[in-house]
Chains A and B, each alone.
Chain A
Amino acid sequence: MFPSEKRSLTRFLIIYMFSTLFLISIGIAIFYRYDYHRLSDYQNEKLKTQTQNLIPKLRELHKSFDEVLYYPVQKGLNSAIYDIDKNYLVGDLKPSPYFKDKMDKNEEFWRDGDYIYYLTKVYPHYLGAAYLISRAKFDPSPINELREKLALFFLLSAIFVFFIAYLLGKLFLFPMKSALSMLDDFIKDTAHELNTPVSVILANTELLKEFYPNLQTSEELSRIEIASKRLSRIYDDLTFLKLNHKRHRNVKEIDLSSLAKERAAYFEIMAKARRIELKAKIKEGVFLRMDFEDAAKLMDNLISNALKYTKPQGEVEIILDEKFLIVKDNGIGIESRYKKFVLRRFFRANDSEGGFGLGLSIVKEIVDYYGFRLDIESEPDKGTKVEILWGD
């Protein structure tokens, strides 16, 4: 999967899932509210019926002339009667100070802790009862069961939505994937087709210089060499990006000082041709654990970029120390609005120079792979300083 494809799919999945699950959540919330009330109402009605059954029993007591009158006590139900002035009369439900408030407000049902309460008016006032308050333990199991069912439903919905979103994403991204795949193949084929002639040109340039020493200083031959080397680097960059994930890195202790000197010498011809002064302050004996090809690519891209965007008579400096590599120039610099894009693949802030916009993208990939730090400081018309730091 291409990184851009992966990124698009992830974004699509997030947006699709978030919006769909948000709508499902609203539906679940409405259903939960409705069913919660239904289940609560069922328990309220049950309590109401039990309480209403007490009133005929109060009537019986009121009419009875027995010496002892037994207040109707029911299992799972507590009740008490209050007179019209809201004074507690009798019952197996202890009086509570807030009951008076409930009687004032004439509230029918309420919840307090684990109990549901019911208040009803009584008339005629048997035993003097004007109010009858009852309570029963609230049974949370149907509500818990409802919550569990809804949670399961939400989970299954999320899984289902994820699969649908994934399939839709794949379906929508298929044309893009095909186009990217074609582009990738095209780059691979083009790079492959370029490699052989470029290698032949470079080899023959070397041979010409060797067989005809008077051509050593030939400007025309130098231009051919520079152009060929540039083509060769483009080929290297393209193959690096294409085969980056498949290439085996041989990470070992390498002599960065020697490599830096070699690369500086390599770019010397190009710098001279562009009338740019290439300075190198390379500390001896700097060793670093990394793949040799990665190190060469890192330096090549930084030096090549610096040379590319430095005007004639300008200056490019390579500084290598124990803990850092700096490549700085006094070239055209990077406009602040482009700074955040320069590390993106195929981004080019300036079309005046050739290239595919791969240089800094490759540098970033290598830096990220080894956990180095990359700092870019740049000011338009003043120059750019790229610093790579490793170690502490």
Chain B
Amino acid sequence: MGRLIFLIFFAVFSIGGELDRCDSCHLQKAPPFNVIYRKYLVIYSSKRRIEENMVNFLTDPSKQKGVFPKEAKKIFFPKEHPLYDRKEAKEAVRELIEREDLLKKVRVTKPRE
């Protein structure tokens, strides 16, 4: 019975994406993803570069690779960022980019006065 409950829990967690694993922390202590994405977007411009730099950070985090200032790190990252393997990190980052893509919200029409 215990084994069955464990399997059900495992299956439920497995349905969500890689990003779901990060949400718990990023919604409470760490900066929310939309803020992180905008920060990366303003610095790296293209999705390819954002992905590349985010993955680099997640697989081998360092102060130099981070995009936030030192003070923000003290507040939001009391601990070191957990390590991800490259494949996991890529998937999570792609998911993040897809979810937070700012251009999806942009309309090329004049707003009603």
Contact = CB atoms under 8 A, between A and B. Distances in A.
Interface of A: 61-63, 65-71, 73, 83-85, 87, 89-92, 124-130
A84 B50 CA distance: 11
A73 B112 CA distance: 12
B102 A69 contact: yes
Contacts of B46: 83-85, 87, 128, 130
Contacts, number: 65
Contact of A62 (B38, B47, B110): B38
Contact of A73 (B43, B44, B102, B109): B109
A92 B107 CA distance: 10
B106 interface: yes
B19 interface: no
Nearest to B35: A65
B63 interface: no
A127 B111 contact: no
Contact of B41 (A68, A92, A125): A125
B109 A128 contact: no
B62 interface: no
A83 B45 contact: yes
A89 B103 contact: yes
B38 A90 contact: no
Interface residues of B, number: 20
Contact of B108 (A63, A65, A91, A126): A91
Contacts of B34: 65
Contacts of B103: 89-90, 127-128
Interface string B8-50: 0000000000000000000000000010001001111111110
A260 to B, nearest CB: 99
B105 interface: yes
B44 A125 contact: yes
Contacts of B111: 70
Contacts of B38: 62-63
Chain A CB within 10 A, most for which of B41, B47, B109: B41
Contacts of A92: 108
Contact of B110 (A61, A65, A68, A73): A73
B105 A124 contact: no
A83 B51 CA distance: 14
Given A65-B34, A127-B41, A85 B49 contact: yes
A82 to B, nearest CB: 9
7 nearest interchain CB pairs? A84-B45, A125-B45, A83-B46, A85-B46, A70-B111, A124-B42, A130-B45
Q: Of A68, A70, A128, A130, which is in contact with the most chain B CB atoms at under 10 Å from its CB?
A: A128
